[in-house]
Structure 1
Amino acid sequence: MIEENDEELFEHFRIEADPKQSLLRIDKFLIDRLPHTSRNRIQDAIKQNYIKVNGDDVKSNYKIRPKDVVTIFLPKPKVDFEIIPQDIPLNIVFEDDHLMIINKEPGMVVHPGHNNWDGTLVNALAFKFKNLPTHKNGEQKPGLVHRIDKDTSGLLVIAKTDQAMTNLAKQFFDHSIERTYYALVWGEVKEDNGTIEGHIGRSFSDRRMSTVFPDGEYGKEAITHYQVLKRLRYVSLVKCNLETGRTHQIRAHMKYLGHTLFNDALYGGDKILKGERFSKYKSFVENCFSLMPRQALHAKTLGFIHPVSNEFIQFDSEIPEDFQSVIDRWEHYVQYT
């Protein structure tokens, strides 16, 4: 599976300390309560923020107090869940016997997970198809070769056969898939075009985010090619071509470049990062945020070798209405102010 969205964490254990609990290091406290788990594994989980006390991250030397609530989260669900088929409309761009291309609406979660057990793309696919292939380990992600974030709109390819799944997955692994995204970012990007290279890995401070490690000391290689399409004084419309497909790659790379995505709340783009502070401008920006209550990112094109015909096929999509309306408003604003 090519991971391109937030890492879901699932609660596996919830342990409440006794009202008379004496002070005890959390790793020692958990050894007696988690069977077949070593102290090293517990300490590693604490470092990765998989273990929380009263909802907060702690260090291995934290001492459990009376009535502390310890929760342990892991990336995989504790038990398998049933995918509920749901008749959810899909914007199908192309379909044959082997694959399907859909244009995902912003706000749609791709597959069930924590707090999103239904209403997802996978629920819609389960209704439309009976036996879609899974990629590996029998994961309940039928048909999914890759993913995009909940609030990112755009094109996704769905495999309908095992042959298509294997073939397309290899193309993603080989980085031969052609993918173009449109992003509205804060600030005027200096160069007309360029390449951002920097390993991407989970942030040490917030595991929901990805961080660029330019020296390659952590994370995985990530390469994004970009071209500026429009400069709108305070923001820029940028076309990004992915050479790799890391989690939040464009969001992390553009922030690293100094141009956080417009209204990307997780990465700080939901604040005024460029421009004046007077009330008229502030009201204008807040109105744009309301029109597009998500990060300004759209998966516009998708191209690959068809797994059966071996012909290169490419698909394009229109910029969504919310995204386009914000671009139009910025163009009008910079023209008349």
Structure 2
Amino acid sequence: MSAHNEDTPELIGDRFIRAGSIMLEASADAAGQRLDQWLASQLGPDMSRSRVQMLIKQGAVTVGGKMIDEAKRKMIAGDSVSVVMPEPEPAEPLGENITLDVLYEDDELIVINKPAGLVVHPGAGNWTGTLVNALIHHCGDSLSGIGGVRRPGIVHRLDKETSGVMVVAKTDRAHKALSEAFADHGLTGDLERAYQALVWGIPQRPSGTVDAPLGRAADRVRRAVVPSGRDDARHAITHFTVQERFGEAQQAFATASLVECRLETGRTHQIRVHMAHIGHPVVGDPDYGQAFRTKANRLPDPLKTLVKAFPRQALHARLLAFRHPATHLTMRFEAPIPGDMEELVSGFRKL
């Protein structure tokens, strides 16, 4: 296989992330392969197969000078393939000047400490004021384009009211590598996630594992533990360790624990559902801790006032470690418990 960029013939190292025309020639071992499959293998880690398929549909790929619009077209040895790499399209939605707590940033990715109350991605009821809007404004032209659009690549999410460390891709290469790491939950690479949660009650054991599949609840917004044979059941495992215990064990109505939860899988609302499933819902959780709301009435003041006024689930993504997609070095980031949650924990400590 040989390749060159018509705009900068000698610029081989980063040719795949710049606009221009890339010329490729198929070798003998390419014969019989699908066009999209072969192109993805030749264009390297910066180009996903889905992105190649999009370019083919857009008429950006020619073979022997003829435009090809079928991704499944079979390759023939000696085929001369040209790929036109367009400039990334303007970002949608628009960027917004929203303050970000940036823990780290380079050309490939950005790591932020997300505050509680910030929605990650625009959607119904939240078309503006999201983390994506903030990142588009903050990163600007340093976004090389995810799928051909100047936008940040979201590879994992935190609930609106959950705070803590998040990593976001700025390039196709980073998006592909990080997405794969999160998809297999770090089984083939370095991925570590640890959360801190203030939960009601004191678990019987100092540590344990919740292995219970999750699926949609009746209202289709929440999640629930479901039978493993159900069509929408998704494998879910959470490991927890009790870090602190608050209150007297014999006064179960006035006890709570600070626990660390480590994810072996990453399902929607996983920690919140699993902790509620074992009888220790997250304090302040409006979806999975409703049955424990009256417990606050039995607490002494001023703790009772603190708990009743706390507006969210007391859950924080404390630690995130992953392998950098370009340097392949393991990077590790931590964020302390935010002030509102620390005040709540301190209140329980006084018990």
Q: Which amino acid aligns with 2:211?
A: E
CA distance in 1 between counterparts of 2:291 and 2:306 reads 12
Matching of residue 143 in structure 1 with residue 153 in structure 2:
yes
> 1-side partners of 2:146 and 2:279: how far apart?
36
Q: Give distance in 2, aligned partners of 1:315 and 1:86.
A: 25
Q: Which consecutive unaligned segments of at least 5 residues does structure 2 have? A: 1-90, 248-254
Q: For the Cα contact (< 8 Å) 2:136–2:151, is it kept in 1?
A: no
Which structure is higher in RCO with an 8 Å CA cutoff and minimum separation 6?
A: 1
Deviation at 1:135, TM superposition (A): 6.3
Q: Number of paired residues?
A: 248
1:289 aligns with 2:308: yes
Alignment partner of 1:127 is 2:137: yes
- The residue that corresponds to 1:202 in the other structure is 216
Deviation per CA, 1:269-313, whole angstroms, max 9, x where unpaired? Answer: 4843658x55x63773242231x3100000000001111111111
- Give the TM-score, by structure 1 length: 0.69
1:268, CA displacement in angstroms? 2.7
> Which residue is 1:84 aligned to?
94
- Structure 1's 156 and 133: CA in aligned 2 closer, same or farther, altered over 3 A? farther
Distance 1:156 1:269 in 2: 28
1:191 — aligned with what?
Answer: 205
Residue 328 in 1 paired to residue 338 in 2?
Answer: no
Match of 1:311 among 306, 309, 329: 329
Counterpart in the other structure of 2:278 = 257
Cα displacement string for residues 147-191 of structure 1 (whole angstroms, at most 9, x for unaligned residues)? 110000001001111111100001001111210000011111111
Q: Give the counterpart letter for 2:269 in structure 1.
A: H
Tell me the SS of whatever aligns to 1:266.
Answer: coil
Is the Cα–Cα contact under 8 Å of residues 195 and 223 in structure 1 kept in the other structure?
yes
- The CA distance in 1 between the partners of 2:284 and 2:124, in whole Å, is 23
Map 1:1-337 → 2, pairs under 5 A: 82-130=92-140, 132=143, 142-176=152-186, 177-203=191-217, 205-213=218-226, 215-217=228-230, 218-233=232-247, 234-269=255-290, 271-272=292-293, 274=295, 278=298, 281=300, 284-290=303-309, 292-332=310-350, 334=351
Question: Could you tell me how far apart the structure 2 residues matched to 1:251 and 1:258 are?
Answer: 11
CA deviation vs aligned residue, 1:37-75 (integer Å, no higher than 9, x gap): xxxxxxxxxxxxxxxxxxxxxxxxxxxxxxxxxxxxxxx
For residue 284 of structure 1, what is the amino acid of its counterpart? L
**Paired residue secondary structure (1:328):** helix
CA distance in 2, matches of 1:135, 1:189: 44
Partners of 2:308 and 2:270 in 1: CA distance? 22
Question: In the alignment, is the contact (CA less than 8 A) between 2:214 and 2:224 conserved in 1?
Answer: yes
Aligned residue for 1:221, secondary structure, equals: coil
- Residue equivalent to 1:19: none
Instruction: Tell me the secondary structure at the aligned position of residue 332 of structure 2.
Output: strand
Q: Once the 2 structures are TM-superposed, how far is the Cα of residue 145 of structure 1 from its aligned partner? A: 1.0
Deviation at 1:213, TM superposition (A): 1.8
State the TM-score, normalizing by the size of structure 2: 0.66
Shift of 1:143: 2.1
Q: Secondary structure at the match of 1:115?
A: coil
CA distance in 2, matches of 1:139, 1:214: 40
For residues 99-130 of structure 1, give each alpha carbon's deviation from its aligned partner in whole angstroms, at most 9, with x where no partner exists: 11000000001111111111110111111234
Q: Give the corresponding residue for 2:74.
A: none
Give the aligned partner of residue 39 of structure 1: none
Offset of 1:140 from its aligned partner? 9.3
Q: Once the 2 structures are TM-superposed, how far is the Cα of residue 96 of structure 1 from its aligned partner?
A: 1.3
Q: CA RMSD in A?
A: 2.3
